[in-house]
Amino acid sequence: MQRKVTLRKMGGSVGATIPKDIADRLHVRAGDQLFVVETEEGVLLTPYDPEFQKAMAAYERTASKYRNALRELAR
């Protein structure tokens, strides 16, 4: 879905307002954090956290090695 939004000056930054119907559909609300990613096509707003992905990759590398210890900790 494409929507046109107007950028506004907000202090020393520039901001855009996400229309309510889109925010509701994407389950985002005031105070949520989104990440801004520059792409070849433009700007992408996403809840994807690259630091979380790094942590999950580290977990996956060690989970099978320490499977028994993790199972005991889960009890």
d(CA 52, CA 17): 26
51 found inside a domain:
yes
Q: How confident is the model at residue 69 (pLDDT cuts 50, 70, 90)?
A: confident
- What is the token pair recorded at 18? 């996400």
43 found inside a domain:
yes
What is the model's pTM? Answer: 0.56
Q: What would the mean pLDDT of 48-70 be, rounded to a whole number?
A: 83
Q: Note the pLDDT of residue 66.
A: 85
How many domains in the chain?
Answer: 1
2 found inside a domain:
no
Domain that holds residue 58: 7-74
60 found inside a domain:
yes
- What is the token pair recorded at 22? 């889109």
